[in-house]
């Protein structure tokens, strides 16, 4: 039977990293990287995880939920945090799954921790602005201005994102509004809505700084190129996720030996109803 175990690990620099350990303690280990805003409370389906014989580890990136903030962090800063968490939990080798803004962090770990990873998967994931054709021009004006500022004044860009996110930090439920038909169907399903609300509320509980740090890190150079990612990454994209089609096409083309799948009936939250499919692909010994 699936159950969750909350905990935290002390990192070498003195920060605390909060995590949640779900499912079978002896199951196949999978580390899940939440979106933004997101937290260790993001779990697509506990029953599916349990049925798959998986030990799922979720964690709050710095500044989200109960994890201490790391100002100025980059994507590559996530890898040592994940390594420390895996050591704390006794995980020698494990799979990683990155969702939305968590995808680039999972990819960074695939480059730095490649000898420890069994499988790598990303879903609904943005690509780097410097490698996705037309990415800069496709950004909405407000976001393009913020991304340009992130290249020359990261702290100022963080402050700007924090100001913009104040309304969502005050009322997290407002973040779960709108979107394509498929996403509205996921959000309106009572158990899934309860999970997503808990996820966003915990993410923004300490404020919006973690979200801002995430966004600035994604807008800046990633510190690695897509062709440095190990072979065989699984990439999923929902056809109704209008935000990510060019990114998906770029990732699928640039990853060596990528396993690319388009969900014709899903949007940005496709990982939730398709969680069993994802675990079947990555939860292998």
Q: What's the mean per-residue pLDDT of the chain?
A: 95
Q: Determine how β-strand 16-23 pairs with β-strand 54-59.
A: antiparallel
107-141 per-position pLDDT tens digit: 999 999 999 999 999 999 999 999 999 999 999 99
Distance CA 37, CA 204 (A): 7
Mean pLDDT computed over 188-195: 96
Using the predicted structure, report yes or no on whether residue 58 has a pLDDT greater than 70: yes
pLDDT at 178 over 90: no
Instruction: Identify the pLDDT of residue 130.
Output: 95
Q: How high is the pLDDT of residue 172?
A: 92
Judge whether residue 199 has pLDDT over 50.
Answer: yes
pLDDT at 2: 43
Q: Output phi, psi for 153, to 5 deg.
A: -145, 70
What mean pLDDT do residues 173-198 have?
A: 94
Give me the helices (H) in the chain, please. 46-51, 78-89, 102-112, 135-138, 141-152, 154-170, 181-188, 190-204, 209-219, 245-254, 275-282
Question: Token pair for residue 275?
Answer: 């969680």
The per-residue pLDDT for 3 is 65
* pLDDT average, residue stretch 82-100: 97
Which one has a higher pLDDT value, 1 or 180?
A: 180
* Mean pLDDT confidence for 182-186: 95
Segment 216-260, tens digit of pLDDT? 999 999 999 999 999 999 999 999 997 777 899 999 999 999 999
- State how far the Cα of 87 lies from the Cα of 27, in Å rounded to an integer: 16
As a whole number of angstroms, the distance between CA 85 and CA 80 comes to 9
Q: What is the pLDDT of residue 243?
A: 72
The predicted model gives 56-61 an average pLDDT of 98
Instruction: Examine the pLDDT at 88 and tell me if it is beyond 70.
Output: yes
- For residue 172, CA distances in Å to 167, 195, 203, 212, 213 come to 8, 13, 9, 15, 18
List Cβ<8 Å contacts ≥24 apart for 134-139: 134/246, 135/246, 135/247, 138/246
Could you tell me the domains of the chain?
A: 4-282 (3.40.50.1820)
pLDDT band at residue 1 using 50, 70 and 90 as cut-offs:
very low
Q: Give the CA distances from residue 200 to residues 23, 35, 102, 136, 274, in Å, rounded to whole numbers and listed in that order.
A: 21, 9, 14, 27, 20
């Amino acid at each position: 039977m699936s159950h969750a175990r909350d905990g935290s690990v002390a990192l070498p620099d003195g920060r605390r990293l909060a995590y949640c350990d779900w499912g079978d303690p002896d199951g196949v280990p999978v580390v899940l990287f939440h979106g933004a805003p997101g937290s260790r409370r993001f779990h697509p389906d506990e029953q599916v995880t349990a049925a798959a014989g998986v030990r799922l580890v979720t964690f709050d990136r710095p500044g989200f939920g109960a994890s201490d903030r790391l100002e100025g962090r980059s994507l590559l800063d996530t890898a040592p945090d994940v390594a420390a968490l895996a050591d704390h939990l006794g995980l020698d080798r494990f799979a990683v799954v990155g969702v939305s803004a968590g995808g680039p962090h999972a990819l960074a770990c695939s480059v730095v921790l490649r000898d420890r990873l069994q499988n790598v998967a990303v879903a609904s994931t943005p690509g780097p602005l410097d490698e996705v054709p037309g990415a800069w021009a496709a950004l909405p004006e407000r976001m393009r201005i913020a991304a340009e500022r992130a290249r020359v004044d990261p702290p100022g860009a963080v402050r700007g994102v924090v100001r913009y996110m104040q309304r969502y930090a005050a009322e997290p439920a407002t973040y779960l509004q709108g979107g394509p038909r498929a996403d509205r169907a996921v959000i309106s399903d009572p158990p899934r809505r309860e999970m997503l609300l808990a996820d966003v509320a915990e993410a923004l509980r300490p404020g919006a700084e973690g979200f801002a740090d995430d966004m600035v890190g994604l807008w800046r150079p990633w510190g690695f190129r897509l062709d440095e990612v190990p072979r065989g990454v699984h990439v999923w994209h929902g056809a109704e996720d209008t935000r990510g089609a060019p990114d998906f096409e770029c990732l699928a083309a640039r990853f060596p030996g990528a396993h690319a799948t388009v969900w014709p009936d899903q949007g940005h939250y496709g990982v939730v109803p398709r969680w069993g499919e994802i675990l079947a692909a990555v939860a292998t010994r």
